C-alpha cells in the first residue's frame, strides 16, 4: 500500500513552509483571496491582463463565423469558437509548467492590447471586460468571473448580428498537494440577437461524463421558431467534442494553435503588461524566486502608494481605452434569456483611443 499523500508533496522543499502557511491563510480568510500574497513558486509569469489573448489562438474559427449561411449556422460557429478558446485559458499551464499557476494580479494602469479583437475584412469583432472574485470553499478556491463579451458580425446586407457571451466559474482543486488544476463549473451562456441560445454546462471528473474538463452545450432555437432543431454538443473542452445527435466532430483543439505575438518588450510603454512584470516573469521562469518576490513586492508597494495618493488628492483614475457605463444595454437586452443575475451589469465599453491602427495586436484574426 502506498504511503498517505502529505500536504505539499508537489511543492519544492524550500517552499513547503510558505505553502503550508498559505493554505492556512486561505482557509481562514473571509474576503476576496486576490488580496493575499501567494508563494512565488505557484505564480504564473503572465498577468491576468494578458488572458484575453487566449481568445485569439484560433483565428480561423473566429473568422469563419462570418461565413455562416444562416442564423443557426452562425450560432454553431460562435459556440465552436468559444469552446475552442477554453483550453489555452484554463489548462495550458498544466501542460507547460506541470500544474496550474496563479496569474499575476493586474495593477492600476496596466494594459495589454487584446480584448478588442477584430477581423475587419470579415466584419467580426469582439470586445469585453472581466474581473475575478475569489473565495475558499470545501478545500477548493472558487473564482467567480465578473464580466462578459459582446461579439458583433456585420452581415452581407449591412445588418449586424450580436452575441452576448458570459464567463464560466472556476474551481481550483489540488491545493492540498501543491499541484493545483482548474475545473470549470456551473453554467455560462451565449445569446444571439436572432434568438439562438447556447447553454453550456461544465462538469468535472465524477459527474455526468466521469472525465475532467467535460462540458455539455445545448443550442436552442428562438422561441418563435417552428420546426428548427435543438442541437446538443458534448465532450471535453480541452480536447474534442461531438454533436450528440449526429456523432459528427464539433471541435478539436488537440492540434497546433496560433501563438499571439506582440512587439519587442524594449519597444513597449512602461505600463504594458510584459514590460511592467518583466523581472518578475524572469525570476519565475528561471526559478529565481527571490528576484520574483522582490520585484513583485516593489510593484505592489508602488501600487499601494498610488492608491493612497489618489485618495489624498481626491482624484479618480482616468481610463485610457475604455468608458465605464453603469449598465450595459447589450447585457440588459439579452440577459433575460437566461435569467441573468444581476439583471444589469456595470461594463467597460471600448473606445478607439488611440485609433485601432496604433495597436500592435495580432488579435485581428487576419
Fold of domain 13-252? Porin (2.40.160)
Burial bucket for residue 22 (CB in 10 Å: 0-12, 13-18, 19+):
buried
Instruction: Find the helix or strand (DSSP H, E) in which 348 lies.
Output: strand 347-350
Dihedral over Cα of 41, 283, 58, 50: its sign = positive
Domain residue spans of the chain: 13-252, 277-312
- Specify the pTM: 0.86
Q: Which of 53, 50, 124, 58 is nearest to 258 (CA)?
A: 58
Q: Is 160 helix (H, G, I), strand (E, B) or coil?
A: strand
Sequence-ordered list of residues with C-beta below 8 angstroms from that of 68, at least 6 positions apart, any chain? 74, 76, 77
- What's the pLDDT at 146? 86
Burial bucket for residue 258 (CB in 10 Å: 0-12, 13-18, 19+):
middle
Instruction: Find the helix or strand (DSSP H, E) in which 282 lies.
Output: helix 278-286
Taking only the tens of pLDDT, the chain with its 366 residues reads: 344 445 556 666 767 777 778 788 887 777 777 777 777 778 889 998 888 888 999 999 999 999 999 999 999 999 999 999 999 889 877 676 677 888 888 888 888 878 788 999 999 999 888 888 888 887 888 889 888 999 999 999 999 999 999 999 999 888 877 778 899 999 999 999 999 999 999 987 754 546 889 999 999 999 888 889 999 999 999 999 999 999 999 999 999 998 888 889 999 999 999 999 999 999 999 989 899 989 999 999 998 898 899 999 999 888 777 777 777 888 888 888 887 766 566 666 665 544 333 333 333 222
What residues does 128 pair with on adjacent strands? 149
CA distance 319 to 348: 10
Q: Which residue has the cell 428548427?
A: 228
CA distance 179 to 21: 16
- What's the pLDDT at 345? 65
Sequence-ordered list of residues with C-beta below 8 angstroms from that of 122, at least 6 positions apart, any chain? 63, 65, 66, 67, 365
Length of the chain: 366
Amino acid at each position: 500500500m502506498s504511503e498517505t499523500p502529505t500536504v505539499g508533496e508537489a511543492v519544492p522543499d524550500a517552499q513547503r513552509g510558505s505553502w503550508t502557511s498559505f493554505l492556512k491563510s486561505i482557509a481562514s480568510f473571509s474576503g476576496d483571496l486576490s488580496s493575499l500574497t501567494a508563494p512565488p513558486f505557484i505564480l504564473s509569469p503572465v498577468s491576468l491582463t494578458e488572458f484575453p489573448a487566449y481568445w485569439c489562438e484560433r483565428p480561423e474559427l473566429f473568422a469563419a463565423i462570418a461565413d455562416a449561411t444562416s442564423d443557426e449556422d452562425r450560432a454553431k460557429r460562435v459556440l465552436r469558437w468559444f469552446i475552442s478558446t477554453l483550453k489555452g485559458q484554463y489548462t495550458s499551464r498544466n501542460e507547460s509548467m506541470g500544474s496550474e499557476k496563479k496569474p499575476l494580479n493586474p495593477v492600476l494602469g496596466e494594459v495589454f492590447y487584446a480584448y478588442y479583437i477584430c477581423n475587419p475584412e470579415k466584419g467580426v469583432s469582439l470586445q469585453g471586460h472581466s474581473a475575478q472574485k475569489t473565495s475558499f470553499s470545501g478545500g477548493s478556491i472558487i473564482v467567480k468571473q465578473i464580466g462578459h463579451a459582446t461579439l458583433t458580425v456585420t452581415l452581407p446586407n449591412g445588418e449586424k448580428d450580436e452575441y452576448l457571451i458570459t464567463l464560466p466559474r472556476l474551481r481550483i482543486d489540488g491545493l492540498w498537494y501543491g499541484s493545483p488544476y482548474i475545473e470549470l463549473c456551473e453554467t455560462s451562456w451565449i445569446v444571439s440577437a436572432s434568438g439562438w441560445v447556447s447553454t453550456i454546462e461544465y462538469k468535472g471528473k465524477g459527474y455526468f461524463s466521469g472525465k475532467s474538463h467535460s462540458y455539455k452545450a445545448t443550442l436552442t432555437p428562438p422561441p418563435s421558431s417552428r420546426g428548427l432543431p435543438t442541437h446538443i454538443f458534448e465532450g471535453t473542452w480541452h480536447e474534442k467534442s461531438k454533436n450528440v445527435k449526429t456523432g459528427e466532430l464539433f471541435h478539436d483543439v488537440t492540434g497546433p494553435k496560433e501563438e499571439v505575438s506582440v512587439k519587442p518588450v524594449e519597444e513597449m510603454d512602461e505600463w504594458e503588461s510584459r514590460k511592467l512584470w518583466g523581472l518578475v516573469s524572469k525570476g519565475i521562469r528561471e526559478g529565481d524566486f527571490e528576484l520574483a518576490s522582490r520585484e513583485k513586492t516593489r510593484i505592489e508597494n508602488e501600487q499601494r502608494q498610488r492608491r493612497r495618493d489618489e485618495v489624498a488628492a481626491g482624484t479618480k483614475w482616468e481610463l485610457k481605452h475604455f468608458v465605464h457605463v453603469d449598465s450595459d444595454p447589450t447585457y440588459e437586452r439579452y440577459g433575460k434569456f437566461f435569467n441573468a443575475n444581476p439583471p444589469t451589469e456595470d461594463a467597460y465599453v471600448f473606445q478607439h483611443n488611440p485609433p485601432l491602427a496604433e495597436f500592435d495586436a495580432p488579435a485581428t484574426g487576419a
